[in-house]
Structure 1
Amino acid sequence: MIIPRHYENLHVLHENTAANRSYYIPAEERFDDLVENREHSGRFQLLNGMWGFRYFDSIYDLKDEFYREGYGEEGFGEIPVPGCWQNYGFDSHQYTNTRYPFPMDPPYVPEENPCGAYIHHFVYEPDEAAPKAFLNFEGVDSCYYVWLNGSYVGYSQVSHATGEFDVTPYIRAGENKLAVLVLKWCDGSYLEDQDKFRMSGIFRDVYLLKRPEQGIFDYFLKTRIDGQQAEINVSFTFFDEKMPVKCSVYDQEGSLSALAEDVPGDDGISLTLDQPVLWNAEQPFLYTVVYECGGEVITDRLGIREIKVKDGAVLVNGTKIKFRGVNRHDSDPVTGFVISLDQMKKDFQVMKQHNVNAIRTSHYPNAPQFYQLCDELGFYVIDEADNESHGTNDIYMEDDHEAGRRERWNHAVSDNPAFTEATADRAKLLVERDKNRPCVLIWSMGNECAYGCTFEAALAWTKAFDSTRLTHYESARYRDSNKTYDFSNIDLYSRMYPPLEDIHEYFAGNPEKPFVMCEYCHAMGNGPGDFEDYFEVIEQYDGLCGGFVWEWCDHGIYQGRTPEGRAMYLYGGDHGEYPHDGNFCMDGLVYPDRTPHTGLKELKNVNRPARVVSFCQEKREAIIHNYLDFTSFKEYASVAWEVTCDGVCIAEGTLEGDAVPDILPHGEAAVRLDFEVPEAGKCFLKLRYIRRESTRLVAAGTELGFDEIPLKNEDGRNQTVLHLLKRCGETCTGSREPGLFTVKEDDRRLYVSGPDFAHVYNKLTGVLEEMNVNQCRLLERPMEYNLWRAPTDNDRYLKLKWQKAHYDLTYSRAYQTDYSVTAEGVRIHSVIAILSPVIQRILNMEADWLIGADGRVDINLAVKRDTELPELPRFGLRLFLPKDMEDVTYCGLGPVESYRDKRRASSHGLFTANVAALHEDYIRPQENGSHDDCDFVTLTGRRAGLTAAGDQTFSFNASVYTQEELTEKNHNYELVRSPYTVLCLDYRMNGIGSNSCGPRLLEKYRLDEAEFTFGISLIPEGKAE
């Protein structure tokens, strides 16, 4: 079948489409169910459902004119619309990050271009009052040709934009045949190189709108706040003739707030509201505006707000704000790009529950209802055009270096005049459709295209068309340095993943433009670990208006469950595709099913609505700062508090009524508490911020975050630990005669035994091989000195250094071992090195072991590290315990996993768990489930138990998997449980950071000390049969 080659013609982006306009649903009368049930409008006909479908590997395989009436459809199956054909067995899934999935030869795409032919039969009932019919496609990837009843209607592209066709000449009463041909690739694919799975088909709603002969075609509503009044100005365009319009504005109680009746449409409409209620993300108050014209009624929502820049800061309604945002893709593990209202609302609910107030629509416009929900539920939006040509940076260069690559990035597309119309078209489609949405504060021209004449044109048009919003384009930084460009229409200075020092350097220059981090804290796998550090710098500068975490959800393809019931999610390369970028799509704050990662829990507490900024223990007085921008603290939250001592709650209470201060936004006030602090014990005061009243997304009583404050006393040590060590010390000191210890020795081992225990120490490795108490075996394998961890996604660059240093292949060698028997026990001293193949010694140790009369083992290690080698993943001991030792009790940070730089979701307490429950099931296996700042940990089984404790806190990890298993396997459903319970006791672990796509781990979190000491005691227990 011969079709016009519009799909490779940059001069034909659309054919026979209607002019761009804002989104709305017309009706014959006022219609308020704008989002949930738009199909209830009598002027709206939804065409979704099962459509006829046939897939072709190449456009040249499509021989028949399938769109003709009377064409036999025997070769067609069915597919749901909306739907992505890869999810139904056609073609194959492919994930790439930046690389094009075809040769970079703009504007040409492969000749063997896959395509899908769609046929849909529907019945149409004409409406005499609305005889015109407009066919709408809200999302089709990548381009499409449309026929109705055998007649050619038109062509369009831009996958995430609405294409509208006037089909009045072709539609008829009764049955109609709609035919659509969708191509997998087109010239527009060069501008849609977003970091996502590449899917194809009609993935958003298709519908008809019935319209009158004459009436409103489009409108643009703007608001301006002037003291205690708001001015509303609406401009209109019409089908043909200019018509009178009646405009009514109602408040949320349904009372008429303003009316402009029979105003000539060519003059627009101006209305004034006295004492208006303003819209913001915390208090998303919406009016209803009703337009009546030409026998048609258009109902919309109106949020009164202003956004502007003043003194280098971003202001909403005159107030400085912070974006505590996320980047969100349309992604579902089952439906792919197809996102229902329920799926959207699930995302919004989890976001609100975790203190997210802003969304960047990375990197394309979302469905229209998305913005209506953001209006209603309260989210600030950076609305981004469907522009990304990242793959033009993947050019072959003989002298390949990053600086040179960035100089040439813009040559193929963004500074190529041939692409100016296409680039600007995408900005216009975005702005025109969403211009009446109050949630949209910022227009973003796209993502990672570099800069040039195409974006100069897009920005100039955008700023001229809409001066009420700000403009954004991060990739303006990447351009040919030999040319001069116009940046005057960009309002914000934007960066991705900036190191903290770059932010400080920017503000040292007293800049005029606000700084926004459009992406930061890459949330891939176990991480991010630097939320708190970025929060501190965000609060330091008024001009740093916040940031958007990359990204919201893991992109995975659900593949069912294993026979054991484990969910299987696939990522790049799992479908045999080339090119692909592996699990780089697994970089979200939530799993594909929207279960929160621990990183989202971390973000929640970092972005809590209030914080204790100072505390006076003598007065029991906490100064609380309200980080909300528009809401008083008392209106928003209540406070519950508790005091713990050695992990146990000893006092608690709530602040209600007048006890809760009415802290104004950005203000501070004192709260007084009444509690006593014990003279001894490790004590903490915890203040929990509780949602006072229910909203649509957050129930009353939901915890919004907490503060934890260490309390001072005479002896701040954990008394349980002191008791453990003292009890064992008393047993070991003077209560046993040296003769009660038996020590045997051979060339390899020391055999140390007492009345109730028998341990074996390896003189060649410097560790215990066996621990036995009351004939209970506690070690299934010899202990190990442990430097390795299963690399996290944020270790993806550092692990190359670690592997070069062979940290994954280390072993210990003891060069000298001496022992003596004293009243305290058997003292063993070893001189040890940690070695690995090929390279020099990694570190040297002096190890002192004391085996007491009850079998307790005290270990003290003095370590000197070779500083030529990279920082260590971790340092500690690894124990392989019996599998049934699976009940864990620990006193430290919990219950959420914690690390040196990722610990704000955890607080100190006494916790119990099954060892399997401590595992955080990242889709690509990696280090997980550790707990930092631990006083002691106890693992118990049917007969045996082991407690680890020390004078200094430590980190532990108890797991049903070995670190080798976590390192080697690519998917969590492939993991095989160890025959042991694996216990790692760490002096420290390297921090987590966000280096998977961000700056290097901050120095203060690196395990790179030249020298350090580590001490820990192992206290075994065993029950005789």
Structure 2
Amino acid sequence: MELPYHEDVSPGTGGLPPRAWCAGSDAASLSLNGSWRFRLSPGACGPDESFAADGFDAAAWDEVVVPGHWVLQGHGAPHYTNQQYPFPVDPPRVPTENPTGDHLRCFDLPADWPADGTAVLRFDGVESCARVWLNGTPLGDFKGSRLPHEFAVGHLLRPVDNVVAVRVHQWSSGSYLEDQDQWWLPGIFRDVTLLHRPAGAAGDFFTHASYDHEEGTGTLRVDCDVPGRVTVPELGVDVATGEGVTVPVEPWTAERPRLYDAVLSTPGERIALRVGFRTVALTGGLITVNGRPLLFRGVNRHEFHPDHGRALDLATMRADVMLMKQHNINAVRTAHYPPHPAFLDLCDELGLWVIDECDLETHGFMALGRGGNPVDDDRWTPALLDRAARTVERDKNHPSVIVWSLGNECGTGRGLRAMAAWIRERDPDRLLHYEGDPSCQDTDMYSRMYADHAEVERIGRGEDGGPEERRRLPFVLCEYAHAMGNGPGGLREYQDLFERYDRLQGGFVWEWIDHGLRHPEFGYAYGGDFGERPHDGNFVCDGLCFPDRTPSPGLLDYMQVIQPVRFTYDPVSGTVSVTNLYDFADLSELAFEWTYLMDGPDRAVSGPLDVPPELGPGESVELKLPEPPPAARGAETRLHVSAMICEETNWTALDHVVARADFAVTPRPPVPVATGARPRPCGYDLALGPGRFDVRTGELRAIGDVTLRAAPRLDVWRATTDNDDGAPWQPDTRYGPLWRDLGLDRMQHRLDDVESGDGALTVRTRVAPAARDLALRAVHRWTSDGEALRLTVSVTPEGDWQVPLPRLGIRLGLPAALGYAHWFGGGPGEAYPDTGSASCVSRWHRDVGGMQTPYVRPQENGARADVRWAELRTRSDGEGVRIVGDPAFWFTARPWSTEQLDAAAHRTDLVPGDTVWVHLDHGQRGIGTQSCGPGVLPQHELRVAPAEFAFTFTTVARER
């Protein structure tokens, strides 16, 4: 049976061969972006093709904006799946119920449109299959959603009343090659452009610009289909195309992205080029650029906008690159398709290493464990080669692109080998990546996803086994540290391994941005929120940025972990050591500063740190610091050091901090023990210092004039994170479900004894889950010196605890009026045992609402680490309650309870109530990255064991 074009395995018909992206031509062009007439049909075989006929009246149709997705403009709905195809797997067939969008665009040629030469109609991205007509004449059809396609149209153009007609099918045979863990969003989502091609215009061109690091010279050769000349005025270069020239140059790197303006001139066209000289090689088993090995501090990046899906404008793309640079990211893997070509222009300009990935993933076949995978079926090989060619030809002139990637999660097969062979022959000057083949036959690096720390260390040591050829290759984690919800944890430990073993050349965090679609009811929607089935829930929200591109705590943590300068402090000698961790650059673009900070208002002194600007990559210097000022009596002193941008850049403002650290100079003084006062009856209550207690239960009712909403009680539960819950396919224990099964989310409290002695009030409780023989015995001992109220909690476990605890501490409720927090400890944002790199000990203040981290799916968040004391006040200078921890504690304050947080599915489910819920935790379990990667490292588990901790409560008067 002959299949319709949208189900045929061929890549398409009627199109022109792929060629280089060209943004700098002086030839005329006309953007066809904007408002298009639109009609949606439920199936591919619905309306006939009469809409494409010349003179068709579409006045009654709706309108959509191109670039755009019709499901985000009121026609149908988005659909999210990770691995599973959202239609029956019967390649290359797709359902009859196949949403099909017919598009019409009328246009006139500009009055100055040249009459000579010809023209091409270019589509930069259409999902998933399109058939195209111009003025009633069929041009052809194509698949390959994230790839360019061009048609020759010069002979069909007329001065006015031109009509482009495009039929787009949501599902096609191409959909089997695009199972890429993202929203399925049909439509014309990238630019549509009419390009004039003058007689003698350049067809395709290929810029070769290598760098000899020993001689300090660059060799330039530009190959072009049409003979011409290449000029680089700054270098005095004027040479014929196809001829090489060698001159002294500054090299291009992601750290110093040096570009030279050049012009390619042919008889019919002038093209502005930006040339970056660099040489990529596999040298001594390492990925090198310009003779030096590099370390990827990277992210995977899907294209996404919460309102427009994959239809990104230039400002959004620039915002992405600038945010990456500002957070010390040096590399991006374009997961899992080539990005809009303008994004690569920005990577050239601002400086990022790029692994450019082909528009290819067949994960659904692997998930089914069945045959029929297109990458091992010769019928599909032409489509695979077409996708490889369109990727390479479009992006081959970008110096930022140093590695080609065959695709993602496709298994192995003959089609992939054919792609690799074609790419190597076409472009031998770049390296090749593919993660899915453990034999590494067709790659230049051993690439893995989500290998745990222990395995990564074995690989670094060369103890991983496998084929001998693979053991000679560098290792890259193309995906790790799954950034879903609260997390990822364990970043510091991964980075330590990367820096310890030469073979480990870094990795790419999954991923850049949460794919939450803006929604009037939910705030941001994820899988299932549009009624779609099957779906994979909030697994689509796994980024380092929230959907609006606000950095998450995970991005701030990653920034700190990968910062390009390391500081170490020796309190004995009073010196600080500064190490340059850049791969190529010296420190001449940075200024350094030290600050001594004491626990108290306005107690800080600062000064410059004279780091030699010429300090090269890998080099260190030790510098003497000024003597710290005399600390105020009883005050703790900290040293903060920082490195800031001191020259204007095109990616950040002056004084942007790229690296920082803080250290203890003097230890925290002992916390006074409040004793001496005696409990005394007070009406129906019991008074002890500023505290008022229920005489029967021993529960704290009030501190001074502050009446508690909920008395302090032992607490072990947290609203589980995505990483606590884990992924269903994880082989390791997933503690979130186990905790719920055990009953830690509904612990029952039994009062065993209330004892009022001469100097203390002692309350004994047993806290245990129903239907289990496990428990925590807790003794709460209250003492006071008349001014302060001290609570000492002693915890003793009963039974055979086989699981770690989520948290261990006390929880209490204060009036909502006490909604402003001050604290001395870690901040400004949240931190957990394995995510605390960005936390800096200082004095912080914030309203309680602002202490919440707005994860798209609500979960445990907002803990501040290493807190010495915290205050909850009515306003910044208002009255309230002060809490001092002994030892330092984890501090969390919320306008809703853990139970409400745990039950919420979206941000909009959380509504502040009449209580500020305060958590004072002696311990927290780490976060890990088990939503897709490994769990919590052993040193960050919270094992059940005897514990004792104390808190001192006082009232705080309004500041005058």
Q: Distance in 2 between matches of 1:649 and 1:306?
A: 52
Q: 1:531-930 residue pairs with structure 2 within 5 A?
A: 531-560=491-520, 568-612=523-567, 614-633=568-587, 635-646=588-599, 650-655=603-608, 660=612, 662-676=614-628, 678=630, 681-712=635-666, 716-718=667-669, 722=671, 725=672, 729=674, 732-733=675-676, 741-742=680-681, 751-753=685-687, 757-760=691-694, 763=697, 768-774=698-704, 776-797=705-726, 798-815=735-752, 817=753, 819-822=755-758, 825-828=759-762, 830=764, 832-850=765-783, 853-854=786-787, 856-864=789-797, 866-930=799-863
Q: Distance in 2 between matches of 1:761 and 1:198?
A: 62
2:301 is the counterpart of 1:328: yes
Specify the alignment match of 2:451 in structure 1. Answer: 498
Shift of residue 285, structure 1, vs aligned partner: 0.9
Distance in 2 (CA, whole Å) between partners of 1:96 and 1:944 is: 51
Aligned pair count?
Answer: 936
Shift in alpha-carbon separation, 1:659–1:432, aligned structure 2, 3 A? closer
Q: Which residue of 2 aligns with 1:400?
A: none
> Which residue is equivalent to 1:204?
190
Unaligned runs of 5+ in 1: 28-40, 239-243, 396-404, 478-485, 745-749
Q: What is the distance in 1 between the residues matched to 2:590 and 2:685?
A: 62
Structure 1 residues 865-909: Cα deviation after superposition (integer angstroms, max 9, x where no partner): 645432111011110112212232211111111211111212111
For residue 152 of structure 1, the aligned residue among 138, 150, 158 is: 138
SS at the partner of 2:858? coil
In structure 2, the partner of 1:38 is none
Question: Does the 8 Å contact 1:16/1:155 carry over to 2?
Answer: yes
Q: State whether residues 773 and 1021 of structure 1, in contact with CA within 8 Å, keep that contact through their aligned partners in structure 2.
A: no
Cα distance in 2, alignment partners of residues 291 and 683 from structure 1: 61
TM-score, normalised relative to structure 2: 0.93
The superposition leaves residues 655-712 of structure 1 with CA deviations (integer Å, 9 ceiling, x where unpaired) of 26x5545311221112222122647543221101111111111111111121112224
Does the C-alpha gap of structure 1 residues 73 and 456 become closer, same or farther in structure 2, counting only changes over 3 Å? same
Q: How far does the alpha carbon of each residue in 1:236-282 deviate from its partner, in whole angstroms, 9 at most, with x for none?
A: 335xxxxx3212123xxxx3531114x6xxxx221222x21110111
Q: How does 1:317-466 map to 2 (within 5 A)?
A: 317-395=290-368, 405=369, 408=370, 411-466=372-427
> What letter corresponds to residue 142 of structure 1 in structure 2?
S
- 1:272 correspondence with 2:211: no
Query: Shift of the alpha carbon at 1:852?
Result: 5.5
Cα distance in structure 1, aligned partners of 2:690 and 2:407: 71
Cα pair distance change 1:918/1:23, threshold 3 Å: same
Task: Single out whichever of 663-672 and 647-656 deviates more from structure 2.
Answer: 647-656
Q: CA deviation at 1:64?
A: 4.8
Change (3 A) 1:26 1:552: closer
**Is the 1:863–1:1013 Cα contact (8 Å) retained in structure 2?**
no
Displacement of 1:651 in angstroms is 4.4
Cα drift, residue 1021 of structure 1? 6.3
Is the Cα contact below 8 Å between 2:611 and 2:621 reproduced in 1? no
What is the root-mean-square deviation of aligned Cα atoms in Å? 2.4
Q: Is the 8 A contact 1:843 1:865 kept in 2?
A: yes
Cα distance in structure 2, aligned partners of 1:917 and 1:43: 51
Greater CA deviation, 684-693 or 931-940? 931-940
Q: Is the 8 A contact 1:470 1:491 kept in 2?
A: yes
Secondary structure, counterpart of 1:1010 in structure 2: coil
Residue 44 of structure 1, CA deviation: 1.4
Question: Which aligned pairs between 1:234-245 and structure 2 lie closer than 5 A?
Answer: 234-238=222-226, 244-245=227-228
Supply the distance in 2 between the matched residues of 1:452 and 1:150 (Cα, whole angstroms). Answer: 41
Q: Is the 8 A contact 2:792 2:948 kept in 1?
A: no
| Inter-CA distance 829–178: structure 2 relative to 1 (3 Å threshold) | closer
Return closer, same or farther for 1:1021/1:672 CA change in 2, 3 Å cut-off.
Answer: closer
Give the SS at the match of 2:171: coil
SS of alignment partner, residue 859 of structure 1: strand
Please give the residue correspondences for 1:143-222 in structure 2 after superposition, counting only pairs within 5 Å: 143-222=129-208
Q: Tell me the secondary structure at the aligned position of residue 68 of structure 2.
A: coil
Kept in 2, the 8 Å contact 1:638–1:660? The answer is no
In structure 2, the CA distance between the partners of 1:941 and 1:46, relative to structure 1 (3 Å rule), is closer
1:616, distance to aligned residue in structure 2 (A): 2.8
Counterparts in 2 of 1:595 and 1:946: CA distance versus 1, 3 Å: same
Unaligned segments of structure 2, at least 5 residues: 464-470, 727-734
Contact 2:287/2:293 (8 A) holds in 1 = yes
Amino acid at match of 2:82: N
Q: Is the 8 A contact 1:52 1:79 kept in 2?
A: yes
Report the equivalent of 2:6: 7
How far residue 836 of structure 1 moved from its aligned partner, in angstroms, is 1.3
SS in 2 for 1:589: coil
Q: 2:484 aligns with which of 524, 535, 538?
A: 524
- Do residues 230 (structure 1) and 204 (structure 2) align? no
**1:723-782 Cα deviation digits (max 9, x unpaired):** xx35xx3xx42xx5x5x72399xxxxx95225865312655xxxx4332345x3532233
1:259 aligns to 2:214 (yes or no): no
Q: Which residue of 1 aligns with 2:100?
A: 115
Match of 2:890, SS? Answer: strand
Structure 1 residues 118, 703: CA separation in 2 closer, same or farther (over 3 Å shift)?
A: same
Answer yes or no: is the 8 Å Cα contact 2:440–2:446 preserved in 1. Answer: no
TM-superposed CA distance for 1:157, in Å, is 0.8
Out of 14, 17, 30, the residue aligned to residue 15 of structure 2 is 17
Q: CA deviation at 1:552?
A: 0.9
TM-score (norm 1): 0.88
The superposition leaves residues 765-813 of structure 1 with CA deviations (integer Å, 9 ceiling, x where unpaired) of: xxx4332345x35322333211110111211232101101111000222
Deviation by residue 1:24-74 (Cα, 9 ceiling, x = unmatched): 1474xxxxxxxxxxxxx4421211121111111112221351111122224
Of residues 64, 76, 89, the one that matches 2:61 is 76
CA contact (8 A) 1:109 1:185 kept: yes
Question: How far off is 1:524 after superposition?
Answer: 1.3
The amino acid that maps onto 2:12 is H
**Alpha carbons of structure 1 residues 600 and 130: separation in structure 2 relative to 1, 3 Å:** farther
Q: In the TM superposition, what whole-angstrom CA distance separates every residue of 1:257-315 from its partner, at most 9, and x where no partner exists?
A: 31114x6xxxx221222x21110111111112322223222222111001112222221
Q: Residue 951 of structure 1: CA displacement? A: 2.7
- Pick closer, same or farther for the CA change 1:435–1:755 going to 2, 3 Å: closer
Distance 1:762 1:104 in 2: 66
Q: Which amino acid aligns with 2:134?
A: L
CA offsets per residue over residues 158-189 of structure 1, 9 Å max, x none? 00000011112322333311111111111010
Deviates more, 1:308-317 or 1:646-655: 646-655
Supply the AA of the counterpart residue of 1:257: G
What does residue 732 of structure 2 align with?
none
Distance 1:654 1:660, change over 3 A: farther
Work out whether residues 31 and 191 of structure 2, in 8 Å CA contact, stay in contact via their aligned partners in 1.
Answer: yes
